[in-house]
Amino acid sequence: MARAMICTTVLTFLFPTVAITGDAVEDIGKPKPKPATIAVGSAVYSLAWSKDGGKITEVSSDLDIRQWDVSTKKALWSAKTGGGFLSGVAYSPDGSRIASTSDNHIQLWDAATGKSLQTLTASMTAVNSVVFSPDGKHFAISGGASAPAPAPKQDKLLAGVDKNTTKQIQIWNAATGKSLKTLVTQTGDYVNWVAYSPNGTYLASGGQDKMVRIWDLVTGKVVHILSGHTDQIDSVAYSPDGAHVASGSDDNTIRIWDAATGRCLHTLSGHKQMVNSVAYSKDGAHLASGSSDNTIRIWDAVTGKALKTLKGHKDEVFSVAYSPDGAHLASGSTDSTIRIWSARSVADTTVLV
């Protein structure tokens, strides 16, 4: 039986050591950095770094998927997806393939050439996110149906695809393209985002029912139901050590949870609009959040203290992601740009490279 946990602790911090100057927030007395911007040309909804950190792939409002060279800021390849709204993109752990989602489809691409390898059809109206398992053998998708079937009496695991469910989370074999498992929540609402634990044993999910769920992928059961957000959840992320889960919500807050106990550790307040994306740094010390208030915030992931506010985007920030080496942070926005920020230390997080 899953145990519902309620988050009550709230932390709000000011920024006494920084000054807002144009395109970025800088330490007082430091020269204003020159922004490094990739001009995509259409609204960026999701982005992901290549394994070597030299490339970024994004999906955007013009229904294209593109791969960019980070150093030259030039597109390496671009392809039409053939679908509708694009919401998710992910690299396989070995860096050889890319998965993207559009409408109720998942497409697999050759990461080097941009060649379409496979198009899969999910048993849901819309697929919102896609993520590979750490070993690369599986990938998970999340979404929902426009006319959901009656919700089950409890969260449950189904084998393969069941036509009588809302099909909110599905686990696929990455090699064969076969759907293996369907995870269904009791509420029957859309699931906006999923994230694997670093060991691949658990899956965190968040969606329109305002709950974070921790699923045991061996048993198919929900270990914890985490309650506290007052609006839908748009993003979830595991810390690199698997000890914590972060969630970003339309209630303008981020919450950090103990993954083992389900206890809420911190509620991070500061964004003025919904939080669309959250991402941990490689060492787990920092948490980045992207918001519809056009900003990115950097938080101390241990204490919940706000460290920096990064400004420069002219519209909503829908996606943030740290590079594999932890040296940079990328942000994608509906202002049709990707910005790349230095993240080598808290002191120079605000410097664009």
Among 23-32, 159-168, 240-249, where is mean pLDDT lowest?
A: 23-32
Going by pLDDT thresholds of 50, 70 and 90, the confidence category of residue 90 is: very high
pLDDT (tens digit, 9 = 90+) per residue, 95-124?
999 999 988 899 999 999 999 999 999 888
How far, in Å, CA of 139 to CA of 227, rounded? 26
With 0-12 / 13-18 / 19 or more C-beta atoms within 10 angstroms meaning exposed / middle / buried, residue 105 is middle
Instruction: Decide if pLDDT at 349 tops 90.
Output: no
How far, in Å, CA of 155 to CA of 184, rounded? 6
**In Å, how far are 22, 345, 346 from 31, measured between CA atoms?**
12, 17, 16
**Does any domain span residue 353?**
no
**Does any domain span residue 90?**
yes
- pLDDT in the model for residue 165: 42
- pLDDT in the model for residue 140: 97
Best-predicted range by mean pLDDT (71-85, 181-195, 298-312): 298-312
- pLDDT in the model for residue 8: 45
Pair 238, 195: CB distance under 8 Å: yes
Average pLDDT over residues 34-62: 92
Between 343 and 1, the higher pLDDT residue: 343
Integer Rg of the chain from CA: 19
User: What mean pLDDT, rounded, does the chain reach?
Assistant: 84
How far, in Å, CA of 221 to CA of 266, rounded? 26
Instruction: Decide if pLDDT at 168 tops 80.
Output: yes
**Does any domain span residue 9?**
yes
How far, in Å, CA of 169 to CA of 156, rounded? 11
Report the percentage of the chain scoring pLDDT > 90: 69
State which amino acid sits at residue 318.
F
Going by pLDDT thresholds of 50, 70 and 90, the confidence category of residue 348 is: low
**Does any domain span residue 144?**
yes
Between 81 and 16, the higher pLDDT residue: 81
Average pLDDT over residues 7-15: 42
Going by pLDDT thresholds of 50, 70 and 90, the confidence category of residue 21 is: very low
Among 16-20, 34-38, 178-182, 313-317, where is mean pLDDT lowest?
A: 16-20
Instruction: Decide if pLDDT at 23 tops 90.
Output: no
With CA atoms as reference, report the closest residue to 287 among 230, 346, 336. Answer: 346
Number of domains within the chain: 1
- pLDDT in the model for residue 9: 44
pTM for this entry: 0.85
Tokens of 257: 């949870």
**Does any domain span residue 78?**
yes
- pLDDT in the model for residue 214: 97
Q: Left, alpha or beta for 29 (phi > 0: left; psi -120 to 50: alpha)? A: left
- pLDDT in the model for residue 124: 84
Instruction: Decide if pLDDT at 157 tops 70.
Output: no
Among 3-7, 186-190, 205-209, 235-239, where is mean pLDDT lowest?
A: 3-7
Q: 347 in helix, strand or coil?
A: helix
The bridge status of strand 296-300 relative to strand 37-39 is unpaired
Between 184 and 216, the higher pLDDT residue: 216
How far, in Å, CA of 275 to CA of 87, rounded? 15
Domain extent, residue 39, equals 3-348
Instruction: Decide if pLDDT at 204 tops 60.
Output: yes
Among 9-23, 271-285, 308-322, where is mean pLDDT lowest?
A: 9-23
- pLDDT in the model for residue 190: 87
Query: For residues 91-102, b (16+ Cβ closer than 10 Å) or e, as one string?
Result: bbeebebbbbbb
**Does any domain span residue 116?**
yes
Going by pLDDT thresholds of 50, 70 and 90, the confidence category of residue 319 is: very high
- pLDDT in the model for residue 345: 56
CATH of the domain at 159: 2.130.10.10
- 244: enclosing H helix or E strand: strand 244-249
State which amino acid sits at residue 42.
S
How many other C-beta atoms can be found within 10 angstroms of the C-beta atom of residue 115? 11
**Does any domain span residue 110?**
yes
How far, in Å, CA of 183 to CA of 171, rounded? 8
Instruction: Decide if pLDDT at 51 tops 60.
Output: yes
Instruction: Decide if pLDDT at 1 tops 50.
Output: no
Going by pLDDT thresholds of 50, 70 and 90, the confidence category of residue 11 is: very low
Instruction: Decide if pLDDT at 299 tops 90.
Output: yes
**Does any domain span residue 228?**
yes
How far, in Å, CA of 296 to CA of 291, rounded? 6
